[in-house]
Every structure is written in structure tokens, then in C-alpha cells.
């Protein structure tokens, strides 16, 4: 166990310095790297041996992580459903996803559920085990107080069917929808069809509200958090309320992903399972930092927190 502590302490140094080569950390000539308690660390050969022989069952480990993370934080009334990516080499495995719009095009992509206020990662699924729509419902099952919780999700996850399922479970939500997810059951022919520019249109079915906004482009929303009346064309105050609410509550996943990216270890791994494991370690360290900030009056910066943790593990 002590060797694993030291392995993790040195791995955190890789994250802090964004080292791509193992040689950089263990170099003894030319430009060398010094860090607290370095003399207690593993040798290069021992670190490499442990790093290459880490074995785990993804289902078991992910369940352990989720159960542990849910133990330490009671989520607030606002939660964000999003996705998080763990960069990996394109030669790895079929579970990788390709997205040319991202800085790291090849990655393991999981659907995630975050506490909006803190950005804390509360639940996630394994890559390519669920569709985005399926994950919206399944990840929400873990929410302890559904009747007081609001979920925000972007257009990858929202449609009428999912909105009705969330309503049945007693959850509040505001979902951005794709243009082709037109809620025709609420407005014949599609809610945004023929909508003039700078106007809005609302349609209701029970507690469910569908909204279309036409500005630079057309935005489609589904929500049971607002009370409006059916209207063919409107520029009323509800437009601003719904958009502002969505913008204010969708940030949880983005902020978490940014914290992870700040100290992502870019070292390329030969096996996909090692990329995934290191990604989960980075998620866990990020959650740890979030909890630390929530419970400390004058917290360290993210960098200093990781430096302190590394020194402690190597001490």
C-alpha cells in the first residue's frame, strides 16, 4: 500500500507539470525536476512496473467510486447532466469516441451528473454503455431528494419522452433540445415552425412547458419549472427567465471538466484501461479538491492543494 501511495504522489507531479515523458521526472543529468519528499519516491523502474501492472474491473471500480463520492456530499437542489471526456490514444479500444471539435479528439466519453453549485461529480456511467437519453434517466435514479431537485441538460440529452419520464419521477428540469426534437405532441408541425425572429412561442401539456426562442438561431426548451400559457407569438418576460435560468444552471459539468483539464496528465498510455484509470484518478482528485474548498475557510489554490497532497503521499 505504501508503494501505491508513492506511485500516486509521483503521478500527481506528472499532472502538475504536464509531463509527457516518464524520463522527465526521473532525469538525473541536465535539466532535473525537484519536488518535496522526492527522495522518498519510487525508482523509475519500480514506478513504471506498478503503472503498467495496475489491474481492475471497470464495473466494480466505477461502482466503488460512485458509492464513495455520493457518501461525502449531499447534493443541492440544482444538478447538471453533462458529459466528461478522458483523452486516450486513438489506437486503444472500441470504447473510444471521436469528436473533431474537441482539443483531444479521441477520448473515453462518459455521461455525468454534477451538483451545480459546487460542480462536484456525483454520478457517471461507463463509456458507450448508454445512449445520452438513457443516461439522463438512469443517472438521476441516485438523487436522494427528487421532489426538490432540478436537472439542467443540454441538447444532447433532452426530448419529450425523457421530459415526461423525469416528470413521472418527481424531478424538476430544464432541457435544451435539438431542432429535430420538435415536440409535435404539444404544437402541431413543430413549435418553432414559422416563428418570427425575436419572438417566442410556448405550448403546455399538463406541467410540461415547451418553448421556442428565435434570436440569432432557434432554441428549443422543455421544462416543468415554469408556469406559462399557450401562445403563438410572444416576447414576454418568460423568455428571459427561462434562458437565464438555463445559462445559470448548466455550468456544473463545464466547471468540473475545466478543473480536471487544468492538471490533466498528458502522458500517452499504451493500453486504454490505463488511460481510463488515470482519468478516474483525476476525477477523484478533483472531487477531493472541491470538498476541501467547501469545508475550508481559506483554502489553498488547486495547484497548491495537489502539491501538498503529493508531498503528503511521499512523506
Contact 129, 97 (CB under 8 A): no
- Grid coordinates in use for 269? 498510455
> What CATH topology corresponds to 59-252?
Transposase Inhibitor Protein From Tn5; Chain A, domain 1 (3.90.350)
Tens of pLDDT along the chain (315 residues) come to 799 999 999 999 999 998 888 888 888 888 888 999 999 999 999 999 999 899 999 999 999 999 999 999 999 999 999 999 998 876 656 788 888 888 778 889 999 999 999 999 999 999 999 999 899 999 999 999 888 999 999 888 888 888 889 999 999 999 988 755 555 455 555 677 777 777 787 877 788 888 888 777 777 888 999 877 656 666 556 667 888 888 889 989 999 999 999 999 887 777 888 889 999 999 999 999 999 999 999 999 999 999 999 999 999
Structural domain boundaries in the chain: 2-53+263-314, 59-252
Report the alpha-carbon distance of residue 270 to residue 277 in Å, rounded: 13
Q: Residue 234 pairs with which residues in a beta bridge?
A: 200
Q: Which contacts of 24-28 are long-range, i.e. CB under 8 A and separated by 24 or more positions?
A: none
pLDDT at 20: 81
Cα–Cα distances (Å) from 5 to 32, 44, 119, 310, in that order, read: 23, 15, 27, 9
Question: What DSSP character marks residue 267?
Answer: P
Count of residues in the chain:
315
Q: Which contacts of 146-150 are long-range, i.e. CB under 8 A and separated by 24 or more positions?
A: 146/170, 146/171, 147/171, 148/77, 149/75, 149/77, 149/78, 149/79, 150/77, 150/78, 150/79, 150/174, 150/225, 150/249
**pTM for the model:** 0.90
Amino acid at each position: 500500500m505504501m508503494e501505491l501511495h508513492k506511485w500516486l504522489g509521483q503521478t500527481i507531479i506528472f499532472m502538475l507539470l504536464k509531463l509527457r515523458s516518464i524520463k522527465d521526472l526521473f532525469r538525473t543529468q541536465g535539466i532535473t525536476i525537484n519536488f518535496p519528499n522526492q527522495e522518498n519516491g519510487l525508482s523509475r523502474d519500480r514506478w513504471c512496473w506498478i503503472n503498467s501492472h495496475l489491474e481492475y474491473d471497470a464495473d466494480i471500480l466505477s461502482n466503488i467510486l460512485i458509492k464513495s463520492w455520493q457518501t461525502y456530499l449531499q447534493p443541492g437542489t440544482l444538478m447538471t447532466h453533462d458529459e466528461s471526456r478522458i483523452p486516450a490514444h486513438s489506437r486503444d479500444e472500441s470504447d473510444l469516441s471521436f469528436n473533431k471539435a474537441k482539443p483531444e479528439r479521441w477520448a473515453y466519453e462518459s455521461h455525468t451528473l454534477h451538483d451545480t453549485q459546487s460542480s462536484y461529480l456525483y454520478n457517471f456511467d461507463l463509456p458507450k454503455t448508454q445512449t445520452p437519453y438513457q443516461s439522463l434517466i438512469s443517472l438521476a435514479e441516485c438523487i436522494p431528494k427528487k421532489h426538490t431537485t432540478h436537472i439542467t441538460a443540454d441538447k444532447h440529452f433532452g426530448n419529450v419522452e425523457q421530459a415526461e419520464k423525469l416528470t413521472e419521477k418527481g424531478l424538476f428540469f430544464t432541457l435544451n433540445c435539438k431542432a429535430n426534437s420538435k415536440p409535435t405532441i404539444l404544437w402541431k408541425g413543430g413549435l418553432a415552425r414559422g416563428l418570427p425572429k425575436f419572438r417566442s412561442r410556448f405550448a403546455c401539456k399538463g406541467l410540461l412547458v415547451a418553448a421556442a426562442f428565435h434570436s440569432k438561431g432557434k432554441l428549443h426548451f422543455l421544462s416543468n419549472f415554469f408556469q406559462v400559457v399557450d401562445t403563438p407569438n410572444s416576447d414576454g418576460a418568460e423568455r428571459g427567465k427561462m434562458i437565464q435560468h438555463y445559462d445559470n444552471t448548466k455550468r456544473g459539468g463545464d466547471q468540473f471538466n475545466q478543473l480536471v483539464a487544468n492538471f490533466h496528465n498528458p502522458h500517452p498510455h499504451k493500453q486504454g484501461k490505463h488511460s481510463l484509470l488515470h482519468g478516474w484518478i483525476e476525477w477523484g482528485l478533483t472531487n477531493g479538491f472541491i470538498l476541501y474548498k467547501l469545508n475550508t475557510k481559506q483554502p489553498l489554490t488547486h495547484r497548491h492543494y495537489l502539491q501538498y497532497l503529493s508531498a503528503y503521499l511521499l512523506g
